Structure 1
Amino acid sequence: MPKIKPLKFDWDPVKAEKNIVKYDVSFEEAATIFKDPLALYYDDLEHSQKEKRELVIGRSTTRERLLTCFMVRAEDTIRIISARTSTHGERQDYDENAEIE
């Protein structure tokens, strides 16, 4: 059986601090939603002018649900750009998907 590499994360430390001030969410916490098997992934077309960005809604290890914007920087590295608590509509989408699973 092939060995699965663990995901690596990176981010801009200044942006990470600003994110905590603005949204009260650390990028360390945001990285934990990638372990959620029910996480929902979307293309972030609105913010993908220079590079392809994606959104993920998933459960973190300490909160209900977070929305994280990220881009895949290399084959095994995810760059977190921002993270916040999900909106009511985003939580509904997540819950509906979880019911299907």
Structure 2
Amino acid sequence: MDIWHTLNGFDFVWDEKKARKNLISHNISFEEACEVFFDPFYKLEDASRHGEERRGLIGYSESGRMLYVVSVEKGDEAWRIVSARKAVKKERRQYEEENDFV
């Protein structure tokens, strides 16, 4: 079942079971993952898989955790959250270098 979530006027959607599994595996809710879209310094990269165009975002949630969020654009409707986890060292470094924070 799809769950719809609106944050700052933008719509997000995700699969309820996948969100629950992600929370158990990575201790990150998809609600928190949505917050990364509003980090003014987020880094965007190609995360495409199996012919599906996906975006990887590296940025901070409101709680101050740097996350890596994979999403798919659903036309003009919404962003579908695919997965979310804490950013690894390489991704944190990319974020800092891209934004001249080093």
Shorter-normalised TM range: 0.7 to 0.9
Post-superposition offset of 1:96: 1.0
1:55 matches 2:56: yes
CA distance in 2, matches of 1:64, 1:24: 11
CA distance in 2, matches of 1:62, 1:53: 25
Q: Aligned match of 1:43 in 33, 43, 46? A: 46
The percent identity for this pair of structures is 33
CA distance in 1, matches of 2:77, 2:37: 13
Query: Which protein is richer in strand relative to its size?
Result: 2
Q: Which string of whole-angstrom CA distances, capped at 9 and with x for unpartnered residues, describes residues 44-80 of structure 1?
A: 13x142x211100011001331000000012141000
Q: Specify the SS of the correspondent of 1:99.
A: coil
Over aligned residues, Cα RMSD in angstroms?
1.5
Scaled by the length of structure 1, the TM-score of the pair is 0.86
Give 1:11-22 correspondences, 5 Å limit: 11-22=14-25
- Which residue is equivalent to 2:33? 30
Alignment-mate amino acid for residue 70 of structure 1? S
CA distance in 2, matches of 1:38, 1:48: 28
CA distance in 2, matches of 1:14, 1:41: 26
- Which residue is equivalent to 2:11? 8
Scaled by the length of structure 2, the TM-score of the pair is 0.85
Gaps of 5+ in 1: none
Query: Which protein is richer in helix relative to its size?
Result: 1
The one of the two structures with greater contact order (alpha-carbon pairs below 8 A, sep at least 6) is 1
Alignment-mate amino acid for residue 18 of structure 1? K
